[in-house]
Structure 1
Amino acid sequence: MKPIKFSIPMLLVGLLVAAPALAHSQAHEGHHTQATIKEQKPWGIAGDAGEVGRTIEIRMTDQMRFTPDRLQVRQGETIRFVHHNDGKMLHEFVIGTRQTLDEHAAMMLRFPGMEHDEPYMAHVSPGQVGEMIWTFNRAGEFDFACLIAGHYQAGMVGTIHVLAE
């Protein structure tokens, strides 16, 4: 049997193919391994661990509910969300406006395997814990939801009231 010869180009191609798959699988556990891109959204911006003012624990169940499903935070507050998936199926926690969540939920129904990894989303496998850090720098009423096909439609939603400074 001849030994397999590897060339530098072959190794580079292998690394380029494997890296996105690894990043995607880790992202679906609610852990961001790459530097988070801070993009201002109507509901806030990705937060930094050093700025966390408090932690809010969220439980997700196969009864398509979040506990708690109503949150109140102060404008400017940075929150560490810890998501516990108590169910037997994948769940996610996505923050947005009602319009953006409605649009994203419709896309998820059309493309249920759609891959995405944004700092305002946490995907948590059954029995696992996910985490995200978010700064609420805009006052208003925002929503969160599980946008996995059928979950949103079954009522897996909640609200976040951000009190003005």
Structure 2
Amino acid sequence: MKIPIAIGAALATAMIIAAPARAHEAHGSRGYSAGEPGDPKQPSRTIEVLLSEMEFTPARIEVKRGEQIRFVLRNTGKEDHEFLLATKAENLKHAAVMKKHPHMEHDEPNGTRLAPNKTAELLWRFTKPGTFEYSCLIPDHREFGMTGHVTVK
């Protein structure tokens, strides 16, 4: 009888510990709003995006529907910054979660967190038309203007 109680306690503890990780929305079968992860075997256009204190350079990007972009992300700032590609509504929702869990790290094909002087790459195919947002969702960074937009035509 003591073994099931111990197992139950261990499972409950594991669920509590895992809660912040689950707070990061999983995309799973519903996919991504801005398209899909790219295919490294297919051609792509490279766009360098600089992340610095409260801005992205460039802040506006235009792509064609179906185009694959290799984003080279460089944190030229003095703080950690993020690049998360989604809709504005999704980024606002995720920003609220980030306020509760400010050290959450992203391990998604549409986003990454970078320490100062670090570089990362994201490969993305834009399959849906519209305007999408890339934001830094570290608390207060988005509010101070750290957003950019991709228009897919």
TM-score, normalised relative to structure 1: 0.72
Aligned partner of 2:145: which letter?
G
SS in 2 for 1:108: helix
In the alignment, does 2:111 pair up with 1:121? yes
What is the alpha-carbon distance in structure 1 between the residues aligned to residue 29 and residue 43 of structure 2? 16
In the alignment, does 2:40 pair up with 1:49? yes
Task: Give the share of equivalent positions with the same residue, in percent.
Answer: 40
1:38–1:45 Cα contact (<8 Å) kept? no
What is the alpha-carbon distance in structure 1 between the residues aligned to residue 68 and residue 87 of structure 2? 18
Residue deviations 1:3-24 (CA, integer Å, cap 9, x gap): xxxxxxxxxxxxxxxxxxxxxx
1:113 Cα deviation (Å)? 1.9
What is the alpha-carbon distance in structure 1 between the residues aligned to residue 81 and residue 71 of structure 2? 14
Q: Which runs of 5+ in 2 are unaligned?
A: 1-27
Measured on the aligned residues, the alpha-carbon RMSD in Å equals: 1.5
Counterpart position of 1:109: 99
2:105–2:112 Cα contact (<8 Å) kept? no
1:39 Cα deviation (Å)? 6.4
SS in 2 for 1:138: coil
In the alignment, does 2:59 pair up with 1:40? no
TM-score, normalised relative to structure 2: 0.78
What is the alpha-carbon distance in structure 2 between the residues aligned to residue 87 and residue 127 of structure 1? 7
What is the alpha-carbon distance in structure 2 between the residues aligned to residue 46 and residue 116 of structure 1? 15
1:105 Cα deviation (Å)? 0.6
Between Structure 1 and Structure 2, how many residues are aligned?
Answer: 126
Residue deviations 1:49-108 (CA, integer Å, cap 9, x gap): 12232100000112x000000000000011000011001111111000010000001110
What is the alpha-carbon distance in structure 1 between the residues aligned to residue 73 and residue 44 of structure 2? 17
